[in-house]
Structures are given as structure tokens and as C-alpha cells.
Amino acid sequence: MEILGKQFQPGHTARTSRGQSSFVSLPGFAAKLYASLTKTRAIQCQHREIASDLASRIDNGRILDVGTGPGRLLFELHQLNPALELYGLDISESMVELAQRQLSGVGANIRLGDIQHTGYAADFFDLVTCTGSFYLWDFPRECLEEVFRILKPHQSAYLFETFKDCDMRELRKVLKTNLGGENLVRRTLAPHFLMKQLRMTYSKDEVAGIIHQTSFAHSYAIDPVRLGGLPAWLRIRLTKEV
């Protein structure tokens, strides 16, 4: 999601929200606008690729999607494996209501909540995932500790996150191609929002620096990946070793 807050150094206490708090009172029309503007072919492809990646790692059990937004990833996961128990968490009441409508009939459990204090039982999930929201978390270390707590032992979380030190020249080239068939509004706004997001995201080394301060310090991997063709993403694997 796009952010409104200001940047702070990784590991420091946030005096100003990175953007997480901006979504607490997100009005319903803004949630619908976000869902509309991000419904491009490339982003739909991105969700299918992430869902395929995750579905290849788990045959059954509980999956939590943090910052689920309109619930697109959960829908794609259900299409691939209806046996999965799907959970979604979002800090925005408007997004939760939108996701519940979009996923009616799927059987997903969508909850309003903050990843720092989820309210789920310890050792509850077989897999936790998040797409493009980690950089918005005001207290990333504390949030990762909560992810650690709610994961079952020896299971993993997979965060898909943009990173600022990606190949910008290649990104702009692919982005232009991806948006070629979209309407004028999406062609105009999508690059603006993406570039603003990339200015706020962490570098690969900054992500590693945050993880090193958590219980995942000795059991993680960070790999650059392409999603929707864009060379702007990291797949962050965090395994709960106890």
C-alpha cells in the first residue's frame, strides 16, 4: 500500500508513523479506490505468482496474510488449494469489510488488527505471509517477534517486499511494458505510487539488519525475485527454529 508517513532509521523508535497509522481510519471510498487502481494485469499476475510460490510450500494447514487489503492473495490461494485454512489481518476496517465481501463463499477468516499485537494463539499458523506491507510497520522488530510467536515451530513466514536498491533502469523499462495496455489513470498513477513506495522501502541490507535484532536472526534468507516481471522484490524467508 502507498504510505503517507515519514521515514525513520531501521531499529529506531518511530516518532512519526511510517504509514501504518494512516490506514487505521481509511475511509471506505479510499479502500475501493486503492482496490481499483491496483487491479492491473501485472499486479494480478504478481498475486498469482506469490500464491503459486506459497502453495508449493504447504499442502494443508493455516495461512495468515498480513495486510491482506482486498484479499486478492487469499483468493488466489483458495483457487490453488481449497483445503487451506485462510486467515487475513488488516489494520483498516474498510479493507477488512472489502476483503470479507470479496471473499464471501471462500471461508476465509478476516480480522481487524495490528501485526504487533494480533491476538492469535502462540504456535497457531503453519505459514505467515505479507506482501508489500513490511516497510510500513512502525515497529518492525516487535512485529517480527509477534510473527515468531504465532508461527508453529520449524515453520516459516514469507514476506514479499520491494527494496530501494533494485535495478531502477530495468524496473522502469519493465513497468512501461506492463502498463502498456492499461487505462490512462493507471498508466499515470501506478509509476508515481511505485516510485514513492520504493523511496520508503528498505534496502536489502537494512532488511537484514532488522531481522538480526529478532528471534529469526539465525534462520532467514533474503532472495531477490521478479513479480509481475518487475525486478523490485525480495522474498524474505523467516523460519521459527526453537
* pLDDT, tens digit (0-9, with 9 covering 90-100), for 12-60: 444 578 878 778 878 888 888 777 777 778 788 999 999 999 999 999 9
Please report whether residue 71 resides in a domain: yes
Please report whether residue 153 resides in a domain: yes
Distances (CA, A) of 51 to 7, 114, 127, 140, 227: 30, 23, 12, 24, 11
CATH code of the domain in which 31 resides: 3.40.50.150
Q: Does pLDDT of 136 surpass 90? A: yes
Burial zone of 170 (CB within 10 Å; 0-12 exposed, 13-18 middle, 19+ buried): middle
Please report whether residue 2 resides in a domain: no
Report whether 32 contacts 98 (CB < 8 A).
yes
| 70 compared with 14, residue with greater pLDDT | 70
Please report whether residue 8 resides in a domain: no
Please report whether residue 33 resides in a domain: yes
Q: Which three cell numbers stand for residue 80?
A: 490453488
Q: Which pLDDT tens digit goes with each residue over 139-184?
A: 999 999 999 999 999 999 999 999 999 988 998 898 888 888 888 8
Residues 6+ apart with CB under 8 A from 239: 154, 155, 156, 216, 219, 220
Place 92 in a pLDDT band, splitting at 50, 70 and 90. Answer: very high
Among the ranges 4-18, 84-98, 163-177, which has the highest mean pLDDT value? 84-98
Provide the domain count of the chain.
Answer: 1
Axis-axis angle for helices 72-80, 41-55 (nearest 10): 50
Please report whether residue 209 resides in a domain: yes
Please report whether residue 7 resides in a domain: no
Mean pLDDT of the chain: 89
What's this model's pTM, rounded to 2 decimal places?
A: 0.87
**Residue 229 sits in which domain range?**
20-239
Q: Which pLDDT tens digit goes with each residue over 206-220?
A: 999 999 999 999 999
Please report whether residue 90 resides in a domain: yes
